[in-house]
Amino acid sequence: MRYRKVKSVKDEIERVSFWRYKVADTSNVGQKIWSMATVLMGFGVGKSDYLEQITYLLFLKMADEYAKPPYNRSIGIPADCVWDTLKTKSGKELFDHYEYALKTLAEQSGTLQQIYTGAQNKVPDPAHLAKVISMMDSENWSTMSSDVKGDIYEDLLEKIAADTKSGAGQYFTPRALINAMVKCVRPEPDKTMADPCCGSGGFLLAAKNYIEREYGSRLNRNQKEFLKFQMFKGWEIVQSTYRLCLMNLFLHNISDFDGVPPITRADSLIADPGDRFDYIMTNPPFGKKSAMTFTNEQGEQEQEYLVYNRQDFWATTSNKQLNFVQHIHTLLKTTGTAAVVVPDNVLFEGGAGETVRKKLLETTDLHTILRLPTGIFYAQGVKANVIFFDNRVAAPSHQTKEIWIYDYRTGIHHTLKKNPLRENDLDDFVKCYKPENRHLRTETYSEDNPDGRWRRFTYDEIIARDKTSLDIIWIKSGSGTDDYTLAELLDLIKEKSAAIVTAVGNLEQLIGEVDE
């Protein structure tokens, strides 16, 4: 256990006072911004749209502050788009100029272009736009620490993710789960990390926070520069989410106004980028198949499943999660470590799924699986797991010798509102994981304690299972049923109904083809 040395009572009082001020400051500013979101909702502005407007204005306001003393930085904002040009206008003139500024900033280069590409004014009228600008102008953002600015923005992201109607939750992984994964992986300075589907950037930020917390004053100048500009890389396919991620990282002191954006807007599965990383932590999007939507000759919307034909993949499949697992293996250095959230089908599916599992066991040390309960993700009814594996150099025998499984599913149920997943819920898992030395692990399961949640399985036991299935549960639940809220039950019914309709449609099509 680590203990923090207290230099003096005065130092401790100042430290506590600082954190009280930080919490209060974050809360006050965040509440002010969120209150405006509530007002604009009454005028038809969605919460996600509002956060985008905040992003455009906040970036411009901070650029203005850093362009003035004492910073005097050259940010590259065109003279007719600087912050003061918005402050001094009102009415239709303000409305028109804001739209002009958004369009002009999208034509610039670097981070500016990436933030403003596709930007549109979603504020309904000049009066409300003036209020939002006034609210942003009332704060001196450059004097706030990156912790305060970042916490405000993260809080807004989480509030919007909780709004299930917006659909934004699919890009937001519970921070309690992310932090537990980071504690197990224990990222170090001077090493690289990637997230091939980074959403709002939660994994990257958690790794940065961990390094700053654990190493603190021991980080030298070069290490701090590396942490800011070189350590992180991500990909995000959705434009609006990509923009929010860039801003979230920027506010947490990753990259800069004129730096190369650490996130690439692209489908990361399309090709091997060539880069290799020490760590990959990610939660690939839920949904079994990769698909693209297009308009057919009749003007109707259709979906076409995507199959990625890549030489570095072990299996060709349209299963999105299996493709991400293979892609992650490619991205890892031979000494790299991965922690990946995957749905149950990755653990048991036959065909390509079995091929991928066997290859993982052969080429990596797939040493740990955390089985998760339902009710922790904003996508309802999702049954997921976290797989932890270390890449290895080629060898004549299988690299995985044993797999440790922690069952945090059986008899456990969370809900997003009344009983959300908290970081201390996973403390026992982290303790059992033994991040400091995995070779010191001990089972909590035994014949005398059949309900122990931590159990070891040998490679031979795994390979002998049908389809090399990793879908293993040994604890007997009392009722054999899960406790769902009414809303969760309705979502599950809709999900199952949609699957049945699809299956019936496919069957009818097959019968029709046979009859012909």
Question: What confidence tens digit (pLDDT) does each residue in 49-75 have?
Answer: 999 999 999 999 999 999 999 999 988
Within 10 angstroms of residue 511's Cβ, the number of other Cβ atoms is 10
> What are the distances in angstroms from CA 232 to CA 175, 200, 241, 249?
18, 14, 17, 10
In the predicted structure, residue 310 carries a pLDDT above the cut 80: yes
How high is the mean pLDDT of the chain?
Answer: 87
Question: Would the pLDDT of 32 be above 90?
Answer: no
Closest CA to 33 of 125, 116, 139: 139
SS3 367: strand
pLDDT digits 0-9 by tens, 194-214: 999 999 999 999 999 999 999
What tokens were used for 19? 């954190």
Given this model, what pLDDT does residue 498 score? 54
Higher pLDDT, 21 or 116: 116
Dihedrals φ, ψ of 473, to 5°? -135, 130
Percent of the chain beyond pLDDT 70?
A: 83
pLDDT at 21 over 70: no
Query: Percent of the chain having pLDDT more than 90?
Result: 67
Terminal C-alpha separation, the chain: 73
Q: For residue 457, which phi and psi values (nearest 5 degrees)?
A: -130, 135
* DSSP per-residue string spanning 206-221: HHHHHHHHHHGGG--H
Higher confidence at residue 166 or residue 155? 155
CA distances from 39 to 26, 42, 169, 487 (A): 20, 6, 22, 27
Instruction: Name, in order, each residue with C-beta under 8 angstroms of 302's C-beta and a sequence gap of 6 or more.
Output: 293, 294, 295, 296
- Model confidence at 235, pLDDT cuts 50, 70, 90, reads very high
